[in-house]
Amino acid sequence: MTVQRSSNSLREELASFLTHYCKAPTPLDPENVVVLNGCSSVFASLAMVLCDPGDALLIPTPCYNGFVFSSHLYSKIELIPVHLESQVPRSNLDSFQLTVDKLKLALTQAKKKAKKVKGLVLINPQNPLGDVYTQSSLQEYLVFAKTHKLHVIMDEIYMLSVFEPSVTFHSVLSIKDLPDPNMTHMIWGTSKDFGMSGIRFGVLYTHNKEVASAMKAFGYHHGVSGITQYKLCRLLQDKEWISKVYLPKNHSRLQKAYSYITKILKDLKIPFYNGGSGLFVWINLKAYLSPCTFDQEQILHQRFRDKKLLLSSGKSYMCIEPGWFRLVFAETHLHLQVAMDRFCHVLAEHKKHEK
């Protein structure tokens, strides 16, 4: 059997690219780079390599809903949610903040149910919250994982989409002394930061040579075409254009769209959450649900769909609270105007109907 491998030139270019944009303390090794046709392929394959069927992974929720399918694709891995709340009574914590105490509680409860937890999945910047982990918080999560002998799968697919100047992104690859480098694995791709969802490409960087070797075998089923690899090489090697032209323009457009959307949300007195990154805003429509249940959330979700608005419901992200929706704002101003007119119309009609 011939295994489809990514070209040496692409892996070398990716190692250089990730070293630069992740601010790695030392040059990354191209031999530790694994390329497959999409981040979902990378995650599904990595879950199979790290886990046995029936094993489990901790994941803070709300979280990207594609992980549910990907974790079951090969190894039937169970995702155990670490529920984050929008309101934390008697606490100085921010909304939806992940803490080590919450991780410990979820792990303890899983063990009581005889679950074999093999790892922790983190998304940074977070989807659907748009939040970015601080360096100290990230360190705490990694120490927790090492203490409990857990792999850490870090999804950083939005790492170049931090548009708020006051927010600083810290890649897991930027940490000089990782608590457990052999059990830390980072995923990235071009579908979000470069708007290239149709170019099926995802990359894993792991310091673990055995994991990298096992992952490369999946290139037989999840390989990337030679033409795609060549185009990606040409894109990623042009760091001057990326840094001086593309990223500033992209961040400016995201910031402008975000400002437009959030002004309307403020006028409507709709609470929202976003940490200054990503392509979306997490909005609270609980006031439009009577009673505030997941059934009512689904009814409102369908009304959006009927008007050709594809907001995502909070339940699909394993959110423990009904009433939250993810609204994507990465669009042209004209399209956003049309979308928000429909959005306001749906909410007005929905409220009228509920009365």
pLDDT along the chain (355 residues), means of 10: 63 97 97 95 94 94 87 83 80 78 97 96 96 96 98 98 96 96 97 92 97 92 90 95 98 97 96 92 95 95 95 95 96 96 94 70
Output the pLDDT for position 215: 95
164, with CB counted inside 10 A (0-12, 13-18, 19+), is middle
Output the pLDDT for position 69: 77
Output the pLDDT for position 277: 96
Output the pLDDT for position 89: 56
Q: How many CA atoms lie within 13 A of 202 on its CB side?
A: 24
> Are 80 and 106 contacting, i.e. CB atoms less than 8 angstroms apart?
yes
Neighbouring CB atoms inside 10 A of 348's CB total 12
**Domain 241-354 maps to which CATH number in 3.90.1150.10, 3.90.470.20, 3.90.209.20, 3.30.420.10?**
3.90.1150.10
pTM of the model: 0.93
Output the pLDDT for position 73: 74
For the chain, domain boundaries: 8-237, 241-354
User: Which two tokens mark 283?
Assistant: 């909005």
> Are 266 and 338 contacting, i.e. CB atoms less than 8 angstroms apart?
no
Q: How far, in whole angstroms, is CA 103 from its chain's centroid?
A: 18
d(CA 70, CA 50): 14
CATH match of 8-237 with 3.20.20.70: no
